[in-house]
Amino acid sequence: MNIYDFDGTIHRGDSSFAFYRYCLLHRPYIILLLPAQLFGVVLYLLKRIDLTKMKEFLYLYYRWIDAEKMAKQFWDQDIPKNIYTWFEEYPCDNKVLVSASPEFFLQTACEKLGIGTLIASKIDPKTGKALGPNCSGQEKKRQFLEQFPDAEPENSFFDKSKDLYVSNLAKHRYKIVRGIPHEQN
């Protein structure tokens, strides 16, 4: 079993932000929500709301688009140019993606990349509302162990130190730096 983070690890950069840019290009009227989105960021920075609530502000635009349909269209053009080549160099039959990005959004990417299990933030694609906690940091580990309590992963791949909670479960850990895996002790 291999465990993967997605943004900055398998995918070059932040896929949720790339999707937002894609949606802006195809549905420019969502720019009208920018003041509300920025308000949510400010509330988060002032520690008035948590990360999960802040992301609800960012995902407000889901109410104005067909997010599921647009996500499928997005992945058709994004995957060929933004998936790091190292991903194919570590074959594994049991791939588990653990990400803070929305679950519905990553589903198509997982299908295209041959990733069998997806653990991610549960977000309503019609409203942008969180249906559970943001799958980040310790929450990634909690959700992974809830689904695989007896797992002994062989490899984990990550790009940020907050991913270490789940990455430390694996025998071998690889930090991705500028698209290149570096084994960690």
Instruction: Kindly report the three-state secondary structure assignment for every residue of the chain.
Output: CEEECCECCCECCCHHHHHHHHHHHHCHHHHHHHHHHHHHHHHHHCCCCCHHHHHHHHHHHHHHCCHHHHHHHHHHHHHHHHECHHHHHCCCCCEEEEEEEEHHHHHHHHHHHCCCEEEEECECCCCCCECCCCCCCHHHHHHHHHHCCCCCCCEEEECCHHHHHHHCCCCEEEEEECCEEEEEC
**Residue 185: is its pLDDT beyond 80?**
no
Q: How far apart are CA 100 and CA 5, in angstroms?
A: 9
Same-domain status, 46 and 92: no
Same-domain status, 107 and 167: yes
**Residue 85: is its pLDDT beyond 80?**
yes
Same-domain status, 34 and 49: yes
Residue pLDDT, tens place only, 13-35: 999 999 999 999 999 999 999 99
Pairing of strands 155-158, 117-121: unpaired
At 165, is the pLDDT very low, low, confident or very high (cuts 50, 70, 90)? confident
- At 32 the pLDDT is 98
Same-domain status, 94 and 167: yes
* CATH number of domain containing 121: 3.40.50.1000
Looking at 66, 85, 105, the residue that finishes a domain is 66
**Residue 163: is its pLDDT beyond 90?**
no
Closest to 167 (Cα-Cα) out of 183, 178, 146 = 183
Residue pLDDT, tens place only, 39-70: 999 999 999 999 999 999 999 999 999 999 99
Same-domain status, 180 and 143: yes
Average pLDDT over residues 160-169: 86
Please give the model's pTM, rounded to 2 decimal places. 0.92
Domain count within the chain: 2
Task: List all residues 6 or more positions away from 68 whose beta carbon is below 8 Å from its beta carbon.
Answer: 104, 125
Same-domain status, 73 and 54: no
User: Which residue range(s) make up the domain with 152?
Assistant: 2-13+68-184
Same-domain status, 98 and 43: no
Average pLDDT over residues 70-93: 92
Average pLDDT over residues 72-92: 91
Same-domain status, 179 and 99: yes
Using a pLDDT cut of 70, give the percent of the chain over it. 100
Same-domain status, 58 and 87: no
- At 91 the pLDDT is 81
- For the chain, the straight-line distance linking the first and the last C-alpha, in angstroms and rounded, comes to 19
Same-domain status, 80 and 169: yes
At 130, is the pLDDT very low, low, confident or very high (cuts 50, 70, 90)? very high
Same-domain status, 36 and 7: no
- At 160 the pLDDT is 86
- At 72 the pLDDT is 96
Average pLDDT over residues 115-138: 96
Same-domain status, 39 and 82: no
